[in-house]
Amino acid sequence: MTERAKVAIIGSGNIGTDLMIKVLRTSSDLEMAAMVGIDPDSDGLARARRLGVATTAEGIDGLVALPGFEDIGIVFDATSAKAHHHHDAVLRAHGKRVVDLTPAALGPYVVPAVNLDSHLDAPNVNMVTCGGQATIPVVAAVARTAPVAYAEIVASIASRSAGPGTRANIDEFTETTARAIELVGGARRGKAIIVLNPAEPSLIMRDTVICLCGAADPDRITASVQDMVSEVQTYVPGYRMRHHVQVEPVDDRMRTRLRPEDRDGGAAWKVTVLLEVEGAAHYLPAYAGNLDIMTSAALRVGERICAQKTAVTA
């Protein structure tokens, strides 16, 4: 048995509220200590109060002033990239571990299925973006079989599942995701596109991953991707492929996407993977897989930090 770690969540919007419900309903390692917002009338704070969780509508200052703040070990930030800079400075001064669900990227990028073990000691870890959490595992799976010269991802999410924080951080989303495709996924160059789909009824999150990679056995590439999808499913059950992995020779049109130095021998195969992410519907409907994969990944990080701390002190 591991000792439960007390956690706080900053941000009482969609992501923060979904994460709170996950902690309360599904985690045997984490204990909700506080929900923090700036709108006293937000649904997230109202739900927290009904569920017996301590709340404050005074932001980070209110969190620091709450009784029992000194016992909180991990703080999840589900606000905005701009706000996170201030939150991180305050929380680090108090020695708190920070899991950042904004695109601020002050700490190392973490995608649990790919590189969590390398960053369990970091004071601040960044969860990249919903698109990054969904697609970077696939890029990494291809990269462990052959060098990836170029990786492009398109994340399509229901407009209704994109809250004010997501909409305010579109630029950061594309920049952060593209950079993480390179740093975590292993691609030499990455590109990210996000689509907010206004269709009614709302559509489930869909992601397309295209990798241009070096020569490798197509069966080995396929097996690597399938293994990675199974790994992500251990913490995001609604994560799945919509079609078998497609591996085909790189044509001249696709080759133009490569840097000049990579065009000769830099890519032999075009690998296409089509994904969808169905949410667990803990707070928003199942179509909001973009919300679910972020909160599920953050939950996995928090639980692993807690387990490591318990193992060290045992």
Residue list for the binding site for NAD(+): 12-15, 161-169, 290
b or e along 139-160 (b: 16 or more beta carbons within 10 Å of the residue's beta carbon)?
A: bbbbbbbbbbbbbbbbbbbbeb
CB atoms within 10 A of CB 71: 10
Which of the residues 130, 211, 213, 306 is marked catalytic? 130
Question: What CA–CA distances, in Å, run from 172 to 85, 190, 277?
Answer: 14, 14, 22
Nearest Cα to Cα of residue 35 among 52, 168, 94, 114: 52
Contact of 289 with 238, CB cutoff 8 Å: yes
Determine whether 306 is an active site residue: no
For the record, the structure tokens of 118 come out as 């390398």
Nearest Cα to Cα of residue 43 among 74, 68, 78, 14: 14
Helix (H) or strand (E) holding 231: helix 218-233
Residues annotated catalytic, as ranges: 130
